[in-house]
Structure 1
Amino acid sequence: MKKFMRSLLSILAFLSALSALGVYFTNRLMYIKKKNDDLILERETTAGRFLPLDFDLLPKREVTIQSPFGYQLKAVLAEPHRTNLYVIICHGVTENKTNSVKYMNLFLNRGFNVLIYDHRRHGESGGKTTSYGHYEKDDLKAVVDWLKIEKGPLLQLGIHGESMGAATMLLYAGMLEDSANFYIADCPFSSFEEQLAYRLKKEMKLPPKIFLPFANIFLKIREGYSIKEVSPISFIQNIRKPVLFIHSKKDDYILPSMTLELYEKKQGPKKLYLAENGVHAQSLNENKAKYEQAIDEFLEEFVFADDMI
């Protein structure tokens, strides 16, 4: 009897340790530490990517959009141009819409009006957890739907996403509706499962084949989705509209091979730009002229050539 009790206690202790590890890991995912909003503003201002005076003078308005999950998404709609050309910018994880201003300026300079917004649990938007595109894709649909209603049937729309924002955009287009006229995916992951496996081995030295299935159970219980579901590569073939894929060759956070996989599997019109300089999400910052050239060539070939304007 004592032997049985010792064995039972050992099993319970093991399960308790696994449970604690599962909760710890899913907490790190769900409540990933965000960058401070003031520090993002200071960083972008110091780098000259956010110019407070220019931003203040820009014809724009603050917008609140209702998420299908009950919270509010905070956005800014900049409309200096009398045109039906619009771009929505999706920022990366731990960032906010201030980080999107550099991309906003890029498209404003090319005659587009632009909407930037905070993802759930980021910036001024509501939402308690981060889901790396799973729930964010439905929020993006809410943003797109709002803009369609606001601007009417003549709206011509592009979506630009960075990192998690790029994955969110691809999931939106591949799983929900391929309704934009074009997409620009800057350093997305192709599979959240593969990305987690890579980060687990690199940062935590944990065996992903053993740990991920267990962690997935906890994520499913706590958040209602599985890691495998967050997989742009599984749905990229559903996107028929033009996609420009961008990635830095030196990115060691999300490997450029992920963008290459997405590019190869994407059917229909597409282009690829691999930046020589910069690490993760730094392609524009470190390769401005060539980044803009890649944008211009893509727009010229797939957007303006289709008589959108």
Structure 2
Amino acid sequence: MKKWLALLFGLFTYVVGIGIYFTNRLMFMRKKEDEFVRNREITAKRVNETEFHKLPKTKVMVASPFGYDLDCYFIHPYNTKKWVIFCHGITENKWNSIKYMNLFIERGFNSIIYDHRRHGGSGGRTSSYGYYEKWDLDAVIKELKKREGEDVKFGIHGESMGAVTAILYGGTIDDAASFYIVDCPFSDFTEQLKYRIKQEIKIPSWLVLPIGKYFLKMRDGYWMKDVSPQSVISNIQKPVLFIHSEKDDFILANMTKALFEKKTRDKKLFLAVNGAHAQSFNENRKEYEEAIDDFLETFSL
């Protein structure tokens, strides 16, 4: 009997230990400090802080449906209905969005940059890789429509988790954007986790994921399968520009290629030659801008 009790206790300890460790890694992934991101972008000359502060802008705290505020800047140098909303990646903040914002301001668009939940100046306790973030994006869009009218035209640009957020918004909530630019998204959360477990922990994913998925549901309220861009991308009828660095070894470029194949029409694909994860713009700026210009021109955006 004692052996059985010891075995059961050991199994219980293993399950709980794996479940908590795994979900802590996901829910509370260590973020970059706001000042680090700001200084990095300024030092790399991707952000000119003086020019940014000169832009006409309104700071807006948008209420999330989950009870916290989202720290946003509505940047409006033009009297136009054309806007782009920028969604940054996990561990980043809105300072990382400014380089993309500048591209679209140069092309005559107003812009919104904001911090995702648990990042920057926004509230929220956990990161959910697009699951809750898509509803926060919806709240930002509703605020834009409230301010600019229901006839406002907007695109969404997302990087990494922000790209997943954009796809999940368009594929499950409302395909309301005029266009989407999705830079280095994963195609399926479960498959991405299997790959990262193999790379980082080097144990079979079947020892972790069956436990982790239940703990994630218990602790943060959603299933891994609910974060699957490949399952909803075909619902998006508006044009999508897919971007990925061929050398990305954090989220493999094959995931974006798979999403591109599942989108049946009105699509473009730009595979950057240089750069690691989320570095397509930083390492291929000329080609990145050319891909955007070709996309906007092709679909008259």
TM-score of the two chains, using structure 2 as the length reference: 0.99
User: Which stretch of structure 1 is more off in the superposition, 199-208 or 13-22?
Assistant: 13-22
**Contact in 2 for aligned 1:240/1:269 (Cα 8 Å):** yes
Q: Is 2:61 the partner of 1:56?
A: no
Structure 1 residue 89, shift from structure 2 partner: 0.2
Tell me the equivalent position of 1:303.
300
**Contact in 2 for aligned 1:242/1:270 (Cα 8 Å):** yes
| Ranges in structure 2 where 5+ consecutive residues have no aligned partner | none
Which aligned pairs between 1:173-212 and structure 2 lie closer than 5 A? 173-212=170-209
Tell me the equivalent position of 1:40.
37
Tell me the equivalent position of 1:29.
26
Q: Secondary structure at the match of 1:235?
A: helix
RMSD, aligned α-carbons: 0.8
**Contact in 2 for aligned 1:88/1:158 (Cα 8 Å):** yes
TM-score of the two chains, using structure 1 as the length reference: 0.96
Which of 123, 126, 133 is the equivalent residue of 1:126?
Answer: 123
Which amino acid is 1:115 matched to? I
Which of 4, 28, 31 is the equivalent residue of 1:7?
Answer: 4
**Contact in 1 for aligned 2:242/2:270 (Cα 8 Å):** yes
* Count of residue pairs the alignment pairs up: 301
Q: Is 2:104 the partner of 1:107?
A: yes
Structure 1 residue 72, shift from structure 2 partner: 0.1
**Contact in 2 for aligned 1:181/1:303 (Cα 8 Å):** no
**CA–CA separation in structure 1 for the residues paired with 2:45 and 2:235:** 38
Moved over 3 A (4+): none
Which of 249, 252, 257 is the equivalent residue of 2:249?
Answer: 252
User: Which stretch of structure 1 is more off in the superposition, 242-251 or 8-17?
Assistant: 8-17
Structure 1 residue 249, shift from structure 2 partner: 0.4
Structure 1 residue 29, shift from structure 2 partner: 0.5
**CA–CA separation in structure 1 for the residues paired with 2:276 and 2:206:** 27
Q: Is 2:233 the partner of 1:236?
A: yes
User: Which stretch of structure 1 is more off in the superposition, 91-100 or 12-21?
Assistant: 12-21
Q: Is 2:142 the partner of 1:158?
A: no
**Contact in 1 for aligned 2:18/2:211 (Cα 8 Å):** no
Which amino acid is 1:92 matched to? G
Identity %: 55
Which of 117, 121, 143 is the equivalent residue of 2:114?
Answer: 117
Deviations 1:224-262 (A, max 9, x none): 111111000000110000000000000000000000000
Structure 1 residue 209, shift from structure 2 partner: 2.4
Q: Secondary structure at the match of 2:208?
A: helix
**CA–CA separation in structure 2 for the residues paired with 1:154 and 1:70:** 28
Tell me the equivalent position of 1:216.
213
Q: Secondary structure at the match of 2:25?
A: helix
Structure 1 residue 61, shift from structure 2 partner: 1.3
**CA–CA separation in structure 1 for the residues paired with 2:124 and 2:151:** 32
Which amino acid is 1:251 matched to? D
**Contact in 2 for aligned 1:163/1:187 (Cα 8 Å):** yes
